[in-house]
Amino acid sequence: MKRRDGTPGAQPSPGPKSLQFVGVLNGEYESSSSEGDSDSEDGAAELPRSSSSGSGDDSGGGSDSGTPGPPSGGEARDPEPEAEPEPQPGAQGSRCELSPRLREACAALQRQLSRPRGVARDGGAARLVAQEWFRVSSQRRSQAECVAGVLGAVVRLGRELLEHVVNLTDGNGNTALHYSVSHGNLGIASLLLDTGVCKIDHQNRAGYSALMLAALTSVGREEDMAVVQRLFRMGSVNAKASQTGQTALMLAISHGRQDTVAALLACGADVNVQDADGATALMCASEYGRLDTVRLLLAQPGCDPALLDNEGTSALAIALEAEQDEVAALLHAHLSSSQPGPPLPSDCPTAKPSEGGCSDGGEDPQPQ
């Protein structure tokens, strides 16, 4: 979790760029890395267009060149606007009802899902359903009304089909929940949670769950924060990203999402979890100079500021190295106040300073 590049400075860092988010939309890969404080309109991760291509089904296929990687230095931008959309075989009409072709494909897929495992299945129906599902649910301009219409039609065909569709993954392991959270389409995310079949803790190929992406999202409206809090309650807030060991709390801190940090702590986030480098949330906040966050973490019961990372470095040492003087002073004061005073000699009575005794100069011993 610790930064390995850049020169430490006295000013709090704005945070790293967000994890790269890669997906498949309309058969084309899109990837992103956004600034921690987000330059985008809604604060969600941007998805610049990539040249790779892949399918939209849940087979896990797709070009390796589209695999999510570490944050890149490229400037984030919105997907290129598309020309007038061609007629699609899927949802249509003001209520986004299923077209006859898509309804037939859904019914065929439902029948296939009901068959015993090992029985050969026709992949055509599955591919069409996956393509249309991601088109309707997973674009930046996707509408909750359309998603609700598709979900309603799907659940009428069978709950098994609903679970399959809601948890479909693209070639990079992203679900509709990953996309809706990343785009800030939290109304759609709420609909997906409403189904009761959403696999919230599913991690994409980069190792991140939708809950972790929610920790990066800039939440401005009260109703959106309610969705984020619901996601935190329903998922595992202490799950670690498979490749880095980061938790949602660490991600929120590194990107300066103070409200999200508070929400995670209220939902049981563990402040002492350590990532693959042995770093804790407190170390992260200390390095980036998040003074208010450091105060909040230290106030949590059980917070251990004396923990060391894999290099034997404490949060205080990290703050000093990064020249975060205010944070270092706060940590030093906290550590000093939590240490017991020097023990009294065995032959010294427990007398008050005014009564003499072994106190030095008539004053209480000062914490070391």
Task: Please check whether residues 147 and 282 belong to one and the same domain.
Answer: no
| Model confidence pLDDT, tens digit, residues 204-243 | 999 999 999 999 988 888 999 999 999 999 999 999 999 9
Q: For residue 75, what are its two tokens? A: 């400037």
**Considering the domain boundaries, does residue 146 fall inside one?**
yes
Task: Please check whether residues 189 and 43 belong to one and the same domain.
Answer: yes
347: number of Cβ within 10 Å: 6
Distance CA 184, CA 126 (A): 27
Please report, for residues 212, 270, 322, the alpha-carbon distance to residue 303 in angstroms, rounded to integers and kept in the order given.
21, 9, 21
Tell me what pLDDT residue 97 has. 79
Tell me what pLDDT residue 96 has. 72
The SS3 of residue 185 is coil
Contact 234, 189 (CB under 8 A): no
Task: Please check whether residues 230 and 277 belong to one and the same domain.
Answer: no
Indicate the helix (H) or strand (E) that contains 329: helix 325-338
Q: pLDDT tier at 9 (50, 70, 90 boundaries)?
A: very low
**Considering the domain boundaries, does residue 138 fall inside one?**
yes
Give me the number of domains the chain comprises.
2
Encoded amino acid at 196, one letter: G
Distance CA 217, CA 228 (A): 9
Higher pLDDT, 218 or 154: 154
Task: Report the range of poorest mean pLDDT among 16-30, 103-117, 190-204, 308-322.
Answer: 16-30
Nearest to 14 by CA among 34, 32, 31: 34
Distance CA 324, CA 259 (A): 22
The answer, as to whether pTM is greater than 0.75, is no
Task: Please check whether residues 116 and 201 belong to one and the same domain.
Answer: yes
Task: Please check whether residues 227 and 299 belong to one and the same domain.
Answer: no
Please check the confidence at residue 84 and state whether its pLDDT lies above 60. no
Which residue has 């619901």 as its token pair? 230
Tell me what pLDDT residue 169 has. 96
Task: Please check whether residues 152 and 21 belong to one and the same domain.
Answer: yes
The SS3 of residue 189 is helix
Cα 70 off chain centre by? 15
Distance CA 298, CA 315 (A): 11
The SS3 of residue 23 is strand
Please check the confidence at residue 357 and state whether its pLDDT lies above 60. no
**Considering the domain boundaries, does residue 317 fall inside one?**
yes
**Considering the domain boundaries, does residue 100 fall inside one?**
yes
Domain span at 30: 15-61+91-235
| Model confidence pLDDT, tens digit, residues 293-330 | 999 999 999 999 999 999 999 999 999 999 999 999 99
The SS3 of residue 22 is strand
| Model confidence pLDDT, tens digit, residues 262-289 | 999 999 999 999 999 999 999 999 999 9
**Considering the domain boundaries, does residue 153 fall inside one?**
yes
- β-strand partners of 29: 24
The radius of gyration of the chain from alpha carbons, rounded to an integer in Å, stands at 26
Mean pLDDT value across the chain: 75
Task: Please check whether residues 218 and 277 belong to one and the same domain.
Answer: no
**Considering the domain boundaries, does residue 9 fall inside one?**
no
Exposed/middle/buried for 361, CB within 10 Å: 0-12, 13-18, 19+? Answer: exposed
Q: pLDDT tier at 116 (50, 70, 90 boundaries)?
A: confident
Task: Please check whether residues 160 and 299 belong to one and the same domain.
Answer: no
Whole-number percent of the chain with pLDDT over 70: 65
**Considering the domain boundaries, does residue 66 fall inside one?**
no
Cα 11 off chain centre by? 25
DSSP 215-242: TTS---SHHHHHHHHHHHHHS-TTPPPT
Task: Please check whether residues 225 and 286 belong to one and the same domain.
Answer: no
- Domain containing residue 327: CATH number: 1.25.40.20
Task: Please check whether residues 138 and 282 belong to one and the same domain.
Answer: no
Please check the confidence at residue 349 and state whether its pLDDT lies above 70. no
Tell me what pLDDT residue 220 has. 80
Task: Please check whether residues 99 and 202 belong to one and the same domain.
Answer: yes
Region 110-139: mean pLDDT is 86
**Considering the domain boundaries, does residue 41 fall inside one?**
yes
Task: Please check whether residues 180 and 315 belong to one and the same domain.
Answer: no
Please report, for residues 102, 136, 141, 222, the alpha-carbon distance to residue 127 in angstroms, rounded to integers and kept in the order given.
11, 14, 22, 37
Tell me what pLDDT residue 123 has. 85
